[in-house]
Structure 1
Amino acid sequence: MTPHAAREIRLVALGDSLTAGFGLAASEAFPVVLQEKLRQKGYPVTIINAGISGDTTAGGASRVDAALAHDPDGLIVELGANDGLRGLEPAFVRANLEAILDAAKAKGVPVLLCGMRALLGMGPDYGEEFAAVFSDLARERNLAFYPFFLEGVAADPKKNLPDGLHPTAAGIREITGRILPIAEDFVKGIAARSDTVSQASPTP
């Protein structure tokens, strides 16, 4: 298939165990599978796996500079599951995500934000406030946004490991299939911006 971009596009996936690929072979992790799906569509994309199992949004905020040191063309942010499991204050989660988004903005790196929900019974009020952190940030900052990372997988025993929290390889394929249209638009936007910059640059 003819590539949609002339040069390689490098993305970094900053996340927790859902990105790292807890319990899976390295080749089955979310960044690897999404990379394969994008390449099958003709996009010369490499996705660096910057997922750490057990990480929270605070951990992500502390690691964002290291993630951006890879000089990515785009950043995928998948964090919040562990915050929700611990019942951390939504305002705290928002502040951490804002720190990540501010760091990316300072480097001129666009972000695809993955939403998360509180997965265990923390009550409807907490659940709504927690989920709204992600949707509100995406709207306010005009980000590429996938509302719920575990859509179609959460609470499905066939798509989760025995712990009921981490996707199986089949679960990751379900996730990547669902997020693919958003990721494809994200990559298209990066490629278009790159082309615009190239055309605007003076010929030596």
Structure 2
Amino acid sequence: MKNILFFGDSLTAGYGLVASQAYPSLIQQRIDAKELSYKVINAGLSGDTSAGGVHRVERWLHDKIDIFVLALGANDGLRGIPARETSQNLQTIINKVRHKYPEAKIIISGMEIPDILPGRYAAEFRALFRELALKNNVSFIPFLLEGVVGMRHLNLPDGVHPNAEGQKLLANHTWAVLERVLE
């Protein structure tokens, strides 16, 4: 049995939903349906930032990790943390995973923030995920929340967190990339 670690924030944790509705659980259902020998581990923590992830990633690296899905950064964007700082933190997380498990395959989930924010921040924030994926030669999900953000019927009443139907789209975006990485 190989392990897939989903390391993220409330989007990964399935904020406001039962665990089985979070997209990592939906990915496990697809893996089981295909009778693949992978176990999904959901290390989503609501409110987490890339800086928080740097400090907590090592506690998740005790069990062998074969595939690491990095889905952090949304809260950095919401808080206006400089894109360079977010990028450095995510790179540190990647480095820690690679140091412990050099053979692990890594997938980065891209995040975006609305272009309504002034200046170049939204563009810099969007680009940092693609740049990290290219720099580290890892698989890339362009925008985890594509088709979900801003869609009232796919989000909880807070308008920020995907509901069960929205989580299905997150699973689809992730599966499109993950399926190619599975052996």
For residue 141 of structure 1, report the CA deviation from its aligned partner: 1.1
For residue 130 of structure 1, report the CA deviation from its aligned partner: 0.5
- Paired with 1:82 and 1:74, the residues of 2 have a C-alpha distance of 23
User: For the pair shown, which has the larger CA radius of gyration, 1 or 2?
Assistant: 1
Aligned 1:155-174 pairs, distance under 5 A: 155-174=150-169
| TM-score, L = length of structure 1 | 0.85
Which residue of 2 is the match for residue 22 of structure 1?
15
- Judging changes above 3 Å, is the alpha-carbon distance between structure 1 residues 112 and 30 closer, same or farther for their aligned structure 2 residues? same
How many residue pairs end up in the alignment?
Answer: 181
For residue 123 of structure 1, report the CA deviation from its aligned partner: 2.8
Aligned 1:8-47 pairs, distance under 5 A: 8-47=1-40
Superposition RMSD in Å: 1.3
| TM-score, L = length of structure 2 | 0.94
Q: Which segments of structure 1 move beyond 3 Å, counting only runs of 4 or more?
A: none
In percent, how many aligned pairs have the same letter?
39
Aligned 1:101-140 pairs, distance under 5 A: 101-107=94-100, 108=102, 109-119=104-114, 121-123=116-118, 125-140=120-135
Q: Is the 8 A contact 2:141 2:174 kept in 1?
A: yes
* Structure 1: 5+ residue stretches without partners: 1-7, 189-204
Aligned 1:65-84 pairs, distance under 5 A: 65-84=58-77
- Judging changes above 3 Å, is the alpha-carbon distance between structure 1 residues 84 and 120 closer, same or farther for their aligned structure 2 residues? farther
Partner amino acid, structure 1, of 2:173 = R
Which residue of 2 is the match for residue 193 of structure 1?
none
* Structure 2: 5+ residue stretches without partners: none
